[in-house]
Amino acid sequence: MKRGFKRFLIRFLKIVAALLVVLGLAGAALGAWYVSHLSGVVKAKFEGRKWEFPSKIYADSKIIYPGMYLSTDEVRDKLRRLGYRVSKARPRTKGEYRILGKNAVIEVYLHDFRYPLRDFRGFPVRISLKSGTIHRIQRLDDNEVLPSLELEPELVTGFYDRVREQRRVVRLDEVPARVRKTVLAVEDERFYYHRGVDPVAVMRAFLANVRRGGVVQGGSTLTQQLMKNFFLGSERTLERKVKEALMALITEWLYTKDQILENYLNEIYLGQNGAQGIFGIWEAARFYFVKEPEQLTVGETALLAGLIRAPNRYSPYRSAGEATRRRNVVLAKLVSDGIITRRAYEHALQEVFEKREPVRLTNSAPYFTDYVKKELAEHYSEDTLTAEGLRIFTSLDLEIQQAAEKALSEGLARLEKDYRHLRKTAKQDDLEGALVVIKPQTGEIKAMVGGRDYGKSQFNRVAQAKRQPGSVFKPFVYLAALTHGSAQGSGSYDSTTYVEDTPFTWSYGEKEWAPQNYNRSYEGWVTLREAMEKSLNAATARIAQDVGIGKVREMAYRMGIQSRLPLLPSLSLGAVEVTPLEMAGAYSALANNGVRTHLLSIKNVLDRDGDALEKRHIRVKRVLSPRVAVDVHNMLRGVVERGTAQRMRALGFTRPAAGKTGTTNDSRDAWFAGYTPDLLALVWVGFDRQSELGLSGSSAALPIWTDFMKRATSRLPVVDFVTPPGASARGADPRTGMVPGPPRNALARAVAR
């Protein structure tokens, strides 16, 4: 029995041993497979795309020059938005500025900036002001007096996917040794002495936690933290900890300490700026101190490293007191570890965190950036735009954009206040508007406001809304007349040619069309100039009939209208649908002596390394003879001085200007397209669902245009339009463009008699 039991026991033990061996082998195989799997995961991350870099949209750079109107407040605002910080002494490092002597002198140490095709190296410069204008711009390093100075472009927004991460990746050798040492001292002082998991740190943390009866200390190494950030969540489970440890060990096996540290310094989360997370040492140095890592002081470096534990709690933007306490803890650690001297420690303790507000990156031109994105989408995928870190330089002028936003929102609110019926309608259909601003000589889109409130409606009424332009279309009829003359053989036209403004019927095919004037009153015989100034429908339709509607359509296309235009008589009065943007583009030729410019929003696209992917240049095309362009331009000046837009002067805009009002027959759309020598702006007012507006272009759109132009041109010198030599009508008054003397066509002479 005993022998039998013994034999049984031996056999049993053998079986158990065999089972254990099998299990052990299976476990080892499984473990090996798992390690290999995790190695694959780690390798894929380290060697693939680790982060997504949103593409960044920049506004146009600003050029300042002696003689330019500029107040200290404007410079201060601009520098603040560009991330410059105030300095009490003369600026010694890039990104500092100070204002001296009752605001008369501004000293700035300019940032470096990588422009398309050139790297700009920042230098110190002094801008002296006198009576609200720039008196002199002088470099402080070599005393060279500069004829102009370009301030780097402002960042408008980024194209984000789901995650809104702000991060600039730097190489390890771009991070100063002091910053590296401080981070390691705080987060993982035995970094160079462990292999991913540090049993000493784990034991120390365990004991500390037992002693305090809760979790007060962590034993994670920097590599483990990196694994957690790269692959795992922040859940506190044993499973996650084991996996984190495993991956850390694998990572240390596969990669060098420097590679791991570099990734850590770029990956680490360091705070929040509105909706955007701040990641990496470079971005954090920029966000908290407006400096690059090599410019940080000992105290700032200590705080930056201290922030890693709880970025939002210790943020100096949130609480200077908490931030200072945390910094002091780190400084004490640094001095006890011998990383800084006692003297440096004492000095760093004296550093005070200046009370500052973070520069919030709020997209101040959302319709414009949508428009840019749409243009880019023709050449770049969504993934490229949100992850490849392209830098897109645009034509946007943020100051003009701000003026446009304000003028439109205040103007629409004013209309609702003044006209009760607009408020009633607004319950079902919101009163909306659009404003676009172009530099006529270059075609650059300087501002774009596609609606009243981007938060409520992202529909861009500048580029997407097809609306009837009404009388804003009329200049094309006059251009066709001056260019081609009569198709019926009754001669050529000029601004003094007489036309009949009386009711008539235009028969075409089997149909008839009877144009009527806005207020049903007719002027009889009028010159072309008067017909344009008073926006007379019947006279304009007669001209179109005489010239041929085909010629009118051809002229509209030539000027840049891209929408399909039906060949109908009502085309002459703008009974077609076009977008405000194409109409503004077409007017640029009138503002530019007959030269049409292609609209330009994107100027350059660079990849993340700064190499140019795309350059778009100013393109011009002469579409009108200078004389015809100047003739119609002079008529449009008459519209402002004596015609339907003369209210502009009553509203206080006194600079040279030209333009045309537009109101559709059913009063659903109100327009004003107008320009000064420097800027062309077009305003549209109406309802999205085509409710009746009941207001003319002069009442609804012109006040908004005037308000905008008053704001946008207030800092520009008053200049008059430049007429090319020989382009004016013979004997014309250069100021008004009017030709003295008797009427010039036979019909007119007959009328005059």
Partner 1 sequence: MTTHWPHAAAWLSLAALLAGCGVPAASVPPSRVERPPAPRPGTGLPTAPAPAEPGSGTGLSTVPSPSPPAPPAARVPRPELPMYQGSSPRRVASVSRTERARELLRSGQYTLALMELERSLSLDGSNPYAHYYLAVSHYRLRNFNASLDFLEVAEAVLASDRPWLAQTLVLRGDNLRALGRFKRARAAYRKALTLDPANPSAHRGLLWARQRSKAVSW
Q: Which of residues 544-603 bind partner 1 (CB under 8 A)?
A: 592-593, 595
The pair of structure tokens assigned to 212 is 């305090």
Which residues touch 753 (CB under 8 Å, ≥6 apart)? none
Residue 251 vs residues 92, 187, 229: alpha-carbon distances, Å? 42, 18, 14
Contact 279, 222 (CB under 8 A): no
d(CA 299, CA 334): 11
Query: Which residue among 439, 534, 553, 633 contacts partner 1 (CB under 8 A)?
Result: 439
447 makes contact with partner 1 (CB under 8 A): no
What is the closest distance, in whole angstroms, from the C-beta atom of residue 617 to partner 1 in the complex?
A: 6
Is 471 catalytic? The answer is yes
Contact stretch for partner 1 (CB under 8 A) within 86-94, 253-261, 479-487, 520-528 = 253-261
Q: Which 86-115 residues touch partner 1, going by CB under 8 A? A: 114
d(CA 721, CA 636): 12
Query: Which residue among 280, 515, 626, 638 contacts partner 1 (CB under 8 A)?
Result: 626
Q: Classify residue 718 by burial, with Cβ atoms within 10 Å: 0-12, 13-18, 19+.
A: exposed
Contact stretch for partner 1 (CB under 8 A) within 230-238, 272-280, 358-366, 415-423 = 230-238
Query: Which residue among 93, 138, 209, 441 contacts partner 1 (CB under 8 A)?
Result: 441
236 makes contact with partner 1 (CB under 8 A): no
What is the closest distance, in whole angstroms, from the C-beta atom of residue 258 to partner 1 in the complex?
A: 9
d(CA 272, CA 330): 21
The pair of structure tokens assigned to 184 is 């390691």
What is the closest distance, in whole angstroms, from the C-beta atom of residue 117 to partner 1 in the complex?
A: 6
What is the closest distance, in whole angstroms, from the C-beta atom of residue 189 to partner 1 in the complex?
A: 14
What is the closest distance, in whole angstroms, from the C-beta atom of residue 591 to partner 1 in the complex?
A: 9
Residue 698 vs residues 33, 63, 649: alpha-carbon distances, Å? 77, 35, 12
d(CA 49, CA 384): 12
What is the closest distance, in whole angstroms, from the C-beta atom of residue 699 to partner 1 in the complex?
A: 31
The pair of structure tokens assigned to 574 is 């703008």
d(CA 542, CA 474): 12
The pair of structure tokens assigned to 585 is 């583009």
What is the closest distance, in whole angstroms, from the C-beta atom of residue 237 to partner 1 in the complex?
A: 11
Strand order in the sheet with 165-167: 165-167, 276-279, 269-273
> Which is closer to partner 1, CB of 16 or CB of 26?
26
What is the closest distance, in whole angstroms, from the C-beta atom of residue 200 to partner 1 in the complex?
A: 8
Q: Which DSSP state fits 111?
A: P
For 264-287, b/e burial (b = at least 16 CB within 10 A) is: bbbbbbbbbbeebbbbbbbbbbbb
Helices (H), 255-350: 257-267, 281-289, 298-307, 320-336, 342-349
Please tell me which residue in 152, 154, 165, 187 is annotated as part of the active site: 187
Q: Which 709-748 residues touch partner 1, going by CB under 8 A? A: 717, 719, 722, 724-727
Nearest 5°: the CA angle 447, 453, 458 is 80
DSSP reduced 3-state for 55: strand
Which residues touch 655 (CB under 8 Å, ≥6 apart)? 676, 709, 713, 718
Q: Which 131-150 residues touch partner 1, going by CB under 8 A? A: 133, 147-148, 150
Q: Classify residue 378 by burial, with Cβ atoms within 10 Å: 0-12, 13-18, 19+.
A: exposed
Q: Which 643-702 residues touch partner 1, going by CB under 8 A? A: 677-678
Is 395 catalytic? The answer is no
Query: Which residue among 12, 16, 20, 27 contacts partner 1 (CB under 8 A)?
Result: 27
Q: What string marks each residue from 259 to 298 as x (binds partner 1 by CB under 8 A) or -?
A: x---------------------------------------
| 119 membership: H or E segment, kind and range | strand 118-120
> Which is closer to partner 1, CB of 5 or CB of 34?
34
Contact 658, 591 (CB under 8 A): yes
440 makes contact with partner 1 (CB under 8 A): yes
Query: Which residue among 243, 309, 347, 715 contacts partner 1 (CB under 8 A)?
Result: 243
> Which is closer to partner 1, CB of 87 or CB of 133?
133
d(CA 518, CA 87): 62
Query: Which residue among 619, 689, 735, 749 contacts partner 1 (CB under 8 A)?
Result: 619
Provide the sign of the torsion angle of the four alpha carbons 676, 472, 440, 117, taken in this order.
positive
622 makes contact with partner 1 (CB under 8 A): yes
Q: What string marks each residue from 179 to 218 as x (binds partner 1 by CB under 8 A) or -?
A: -------------xxxxxxxxx------------------
Query: Which residue among 17, 18, 63, 215 contacts partner 1 (CB under 8 A)?
Result: 63
Q: Which 362-421 residues touch partner 1, going by CB under 8 A? A: none
What is the closest distance, in whole angstroms, from the C-beta atom of residue 248 to partner 1 in the complex?
A: 10
Residues paired with 445 in a beta bridge: 438
> Which is closer to partner 1, CB of 194 or CB of 474?
194
Please tell me which residue in 55, 220, 395, 471 is annotated as part of the active site: 471
> Which is closer to partner 1, CB of 650 or CB of 722?
722
Q: Which 41-60 residues touch partner 1, going by CB under 8 A? A: 41, 46-47, 60
What is the closest distance, in whole angstroms, from the C-beta atom of residue 118 to partner 1 in the complex?
A: 6
Residue type (1 letter), 114: R
| Residues with catalytic function | 187, 471
